[in-house]
A and B are shown apart, each in its own frame.
Chain A
Amino acid sequence: MRRFISLSLLFITLSINAQVIHWITFIDTTDPEVGECDRTGRSVLYGHFINIANDVLEKRGFKPHVQDYHGSHMTPNSCKTAVEELQCNSDDIVVFYYIGHGTHGLGDRDSFPQMALGSTDEKMFIPLRWVHNQLKAKNPALLVTIGMCCNSFDRASAKEGPLFNIDYGNGYYTETEKKAIQELFLNYRGDIIMTSARPGQKSYACSTQFGFMDLFTAVLVHNFEIGAAEGKLDWLSFLSNIQYGVHEIRKNEKNKKKQQTPYFEHNIISTDTTNTSYSSDYKLLQESLANLLNIQLPYENRLLQYDNILAMFSPNAVVHVLDGIIELDYEASEYFGNLATSNINIPQKVNLKSIKKSGILITELTVEEVY
């Protein structure tokens, strides 16, 4: 009897402490306009991202919990219910992913869209930010909220807040890929929210290596696979590459309203205390700075580089400029913003001297300018 009670207690303890990766996906697979390409998007998202991540993380003790809403199950009510009723622990990972129609509320100052979730009644649209805040309040270790939809201004008013198939299988991947994917999900804490298009922009579909589907998810999956194959996956680079990739493909549209540039915000820190090398930061920053200083590039491209660079810095980060016997201080946003918008009075090169970080964000950068 005692042995039975002890075993039961052990089982309960293990069950309570099991870590879970929760996936909540809402994908509009029946809409007459986007249904077909979203069916491809769903297949690619699961086959090339979700299933792979689940399989890799299962080996590190993570149990997958997938809520896959599509077809007639994808409604504003089911989204609200799924988000509000999700139960998770502080060691869990939560990823929310939406593919479908969306819009930006008139007068809404938030950068993120409202999701239509199959409804044509704008009163039923749910803001992506609301989903993110609801899930964040449940305090998971890592939260990623992604909305793949249009973010163009429409008739929708500004808002603050609105089947289940488990489908996972085994994918083939190398040890390098496995390690990179595990590090991506396990070496970070905090939250990320991302939209496939900026306010005023739409999200587009096109022919991709996976078939005709939304461009954003195709670029996301492509960068996920490349990063895993190279053994280098960190959230900042991953999201920046997605942003850059989508923008580059759409940047040549003559009608600027048809361009598409994803946008993200993050509050994440690295929990990897063994990695003290800053060489990847130097490399990424030096490459981004070279583009920032390239006056042959249009302003839009240089300002995009500015966004990418600033995402590496904490909000009050300082840039120290060594100029002979004096050292000048600038706020990072001021320093890089000035470089991004200068053509004549601009250094030929900015040499990086030292970096100080707090977590994954740079708090101080020391540079030397070459005029």
Chain B
Amino acid sequence: MKKIISLILFTFIINVSINGQKQIDSTFNEAIKKRVQIEVGHLTEKISQMADKNTPINIRKRIKTEALKLFVEEGKAYYDEDVYKEGVTMETTSLYRKKPISRLMRDYFDGVINYKYSTVVISSTKYIYIEVSDLKAVEKNHYVCTACWEQEFRGYIDGKPVYGDLTRKNVKVHIYMIKTSTGKDNIIIKLGDVKAVETKKL
């Protein structure tokens, strides 16, 4: 009996030591996941806007500036779980390439703005349907989750469709808890690397 009690106590202490931070209850978890959907929705909308050649290029460049603010360190160098990274990255795929290519987000956005097609239409899953995983603790006051959506890309030259694909993408989302002077936990959500999971022809 004493052994069982000691084991239970030991497990409890270890559990508290490892987690050592706010336990996320399901209501809180769901509330943050809904907010993550909105943030990822902002990203997918801005990618569509940057590709839209009907919008003046100076506005599209301005949208790029605002889009980068959605990401950790605005797309610049940062530490991801103690690993140094040159910046947040976007994986892109093509029907004509086997392996995906990873580019710095700011370079990817430049590419979107300057696509060689005469018209580009990019549309994505509506934000309320973006899938978001449960939060996972990585270090003190820092959680991560993954959000998934599908992106449809259509390229036209002089009105004729020349390319179309459907890509499933996911993004690592960082959630930071900031303790306020009143003891409340305020939340900052920032997007991380985006991966391309699968690409199909349209």
Q: Mark A residues whose CB is within 8 Å of B.
A: 256, 299-300, 303, 320, 323-331, 333-334, 337-338, 340-345, 371
- Assembled-state Cα–Cα distance A254/B136 (Å): 53
User: Is the CB–CB distance between B31 and A324 below 8 Å?
Assistant: yes
Segment of B1-9, B10-18, B61-69, B164-172 engaged in the interface with chain A: B61-69
Q: Per-residue 0/1 for B42-65: is the Cβ within 8 Å of any A Cβ (1 yes, 0 no)?
A: 100110010000011001001101
- Assembled-state Cα–Cα distance A94/B46 (Å): 45
With contacts A325-B28, A341-B46 known, what are 15 further pairs, Cβ within 8 A?
A299-B59, A299-B62, A303-B62, A323-B34, A326-B35, A328-B186, A328-B188, A329-B178, A333-B69, A340-B66, A341-B49, A341-B63, A342-B46, A343-B45, A344-B41
User: Is the CB–CB distance between B45 and A325 below 8 Å?
Assistant: no
User: Is the CB–CB distance between A344 and B45 below 8 Å?
Assistant: yes
Within 8 A of A (CB), among B153-199: 178, 184, 186-189
User: Is the CB–CB distance between A325 and B65 below 8 Å?
Assistant: no
Question: Which residue in chain B gives the minimum CB-CB distance to A318?
Answer: B186
Cβ-neighbour of A345 out of B42, B63, B189 (below 8 A): B42
Residue from A333, A334, A338, A341 having most chain B Cβ neighbours under 10 A? A341
Contact of B32 with A by CB under 8 A: yes
User: Is the CB–CB distance between A337 and B187 below 8 Å?
Assistant: no
Interface range on chain B (Cβ under 8 Å from partner): 20 to 34
User: Is the CB–CB distance between B42 and A338 below 8 Å?
Assistant: yes
User: Is the CB–CB distance between B62 and A341 below 8 Å?
Assistant: yes
Task: Kindly list chain B residues whose C-beta atoms are within 8 Å of the C-beta of A329.
Answer: 178, 186-188
Specify the main secondary structure of chain A where it touches its partner. Answer: mixed
User: Is the CB–CB distance between B188 and A342 below 8 Å?
Assistant: no
- Assembled-state Cα–Cα distance A327/B56 (Å): 35
Known contacts A299-B55, A320-B186, A328-B188, A342 near B27 by CB under 8 Å: no
A302 → B minimal CB distance (Å): 10
B28 → A minimal CB distance (Å): 7
User: Is the CB–CB distance between A325 and B63 below 8 Å?
Assistant: no
Known contacts A323-B31, A341-B63, A328 near B45 by CB under 8 Å: no
User: Is the CB–CB distance between B35 and A341 below 8 Å?
Assistant: no
7 chain-A/chain-B pairs, Cβ below 8 angstroms: A299-B55, A329-B178, A337-B65, A338-B42, A341-B46, A342-B46, A345-B127
B81 → A minimal CB distance (Å): 22
A99 → B minimal CB distance (Å): 29
Contact of B38 with A by CB under 8 A: yes
Contact of B70 with A by CB under 8 A: yes
User: Is the CB–CB distance between B187 and A328 below 8 Å?
Assistant: yes
Question: Which residue in chain A gives the minimum CB-CB distance to B46?
Answer: A341
A243 → B minimal CB distance (Å): 18
Task: Kindly list chain B residues whose C-beta atoms are within 8 Å of the C-beta of A328.
Answer: 35, 186-189
Task: Kindly list chain A residues whose C-beta atoms are within 8 Å of the C-beta of B66.
Answer: 334, 337-338, 340-341
Question: Which residue in chain B gives the minimum CB-CB distance to A329?
Answer: B186
- Assembled-state Cα–Cα distance A300/B55 (Å): 11
Task: Kindly list chain A residues whose C-beta atoms are within 8 Å of the C-beta of B28.
Answer: 325-326
Question: Which residue in chain B gives the minimum CB-CB distance to A328?
Answer: B187
User: Is the CB–CB distance between A323 and B35 below 8 Å?
Assistant: yes
Q: Which 4 A-B pairs have the closest CB atoms?
A: A345-B41, A334-B69, A337-B66, A299-B59
Task: Kindly list chain A residues whose C-beta atoms are within 8 Å of the C-beta of B70.
Answer: 338
Known contacts A303-B62, A341-B66, A345-B41, A326 near B32 by CB under 8 Å: yes
Question: Which residue in chain A gives the minimum CB-CB distance to B69?
Answer: A334
Question: Which residue in chain A gives the minimum CB-CB distance to B25?
Answer: A325
Task: Kindly list chain A residues whose C-beta atoms are within 8 Å of the C-beta of B45.
Answer: 342-345
- Assembled-state Cα–Cα distance A188/B173 (Å): 44
Task: Kindly list chain B residues whose C-beta atoms are within 8 Å of the C-beta of A323.
Answer: 31, 34-35
- Assembled-state Cα–Cα distance A255/B65 (Å): 25
User: Is the CB–CB distance between A342 and B42 below 8 Å?
Assistant: yes
A261 → B minimal CB distance (Å): 13
Task: Kindly list chain A residues whose C-beta atoms are within 8 Å of the C-beta of B35.
Answer: 323, 326, 328
B95 → A minimal CB distance (Å): 27
Task: Kindly list chain B residues whose C-beta atoms are within 8 Å of the C-beta of A331.
Answer: 69
A304 → B minimal CB distance (Å): 12
Task: Kindly list chain B residues whose C-beta atoms are within 8 Å of the C-beta of A324.
Answer: 31
- Assembled-state Cα–Cα distance A36/B32 (Å): 63
